[in-house]
Amino acid sequence: MRTNRVISAVDSHTEGMPTRVVTGGVGVIPGATMNEKRLHFMEHLDDLRLFLMNEPRGHAAMSGAILQPPTRPDCDWGVVYIEVSGCLPMCGHGTIGVATVLVETGMVEVVEPVTEIRLDTPAGLVIARVAVSDGHADSVTIENVPSYVEALDTSIAVPGYGTIPYSMAFGGNFYAMVDLDAVGLPFDRTRQQEIVTAGLAIMAAINESAPPRHPFIDGVDHCHHVEFIAPGSDAALSRHAMAIHPGWFDRSPCGTGTSARMAELWARGELALDTDFVNESFIGSRFVGRLIAETEVDGRPAVVPTITGRAWVTGTAQYMLDPSDPFPTGFQF
């Protein structure tokens, strides 16, 4: 067996969405902060993301996380998030997957009933509290980075769809929240291609004429997510279809998207602190969110969200590259 690359990973899924947690074979990514590591990875190491995320080793909705030494002394591990769409500053389902893997593999000291893991992410400090019984990671509650509304009840002209009302919020990534009724489509997975096509058109229009920009996190200056809100959703239970660049749906309820949605509802005065909020994905899986504090981001009112969900280890693997393999960075189909 010939190979010029060996990457060790523990695969997991969080409420239906995969996280390939890379545990070895990468080395330390250069950078003084985790976001600098992310930006360095994007510029110099992106072939590794493509190798792990694209077919034939991954698939069109693949997601992952690369474990790194933390860059700040108050953290246990650092994380660089990867997926088919690029390198994210933060990934909620991925963080739940990472925390589960760290407990299940013994890569952190496991304490029952709760193991706390402090993670250095490109978006900032994220705290994962893992509920553990008999050594098993039963669920994970993540305390996310401050989340805020960038634009509330604005609109944009989208070719082929007319003027589309939306709100923009940050929950670790930027999310355009659009009522599914606004594009005349039902909350129905048989119509998924039409929904994702509408989402891509909305993303393109926003990024061309009104791109969001985070005040502190370099490189977070675009919208690659449209959270289509299903009819009947409210501040107690919200259902959505999360369309993601370059053309797929989140299978999980989306942790950073749940954070953004809660920030939007809070800004409307519809969701109070310390109140459960259930967010349901396109496949019916659920996260439970809560807002635990008010804060600010560069003068903007903001909130601190928590997200609770579950993940399961699905396998371990060593991913190899034969020098004669015609798809060293995979392919998209």
Catalytic (active site) residue 87: no
Active-site annotation holds for 91 = yes
Instruction: Give the pairing of strands 114-121 and 77-83.
Output: parallel
Task: Quote helix, strand, coil % in the chain, to nearest 5.
Answer: 20, 40, 35
On the question of a cis peptide bond just before residue 211, with omega within 30 degrees of 0, the verdict is: no
Residue with tokens 């349901």: 280
Residue 198 burial (CB count, 10 A): 25
The answer to whether the CB of 240 falls within 8 A of the CB of 257 is: yes
Question: What is the Cα–Cα distance from 96 to 121, expressed in whole angstroms?
Answer: 13
Q: Check if the beta carbon of residue 211 is closer than 8 Å to that of residue 165.
A: no
- Report the candidate in 69, 74, 82 with the shortest Cα–Cα distance to residue 21: 82
Give the residue carrying structure tokens 């998209």. Answer: 332
Contact 168, 175 (CB under 8 A): yes
3-state secondary structure of 111: coil
Burial class (CB in 10 A: 0-12, 13-18, 19+), 44: exposed
Handedness of CA 212, 172, 75, 41 (dihedral sign): negative
Tokens 């490189």 map to which residue? 219
Q: Which of 75, 87, 91, 223 is catalytic?
A: 91
Which of 75, 87, 223, 254 is the catalytic position?
Answer: 254
**Are 100 and 138 spatial neighbours (Cβ–Cβ below 8 Å)?**
no
Cβ contact 39:31 at 8 Å = yes
Strand partners, 169: 149, 175
d(CA 239, CA 326): 41
Q: What angle do helix axes 255-267 and 92-104 make, rounded to 10 degrees?
A: 130
Task: Indicate which residues carry an active-site annotation.
Answer: 91, 254
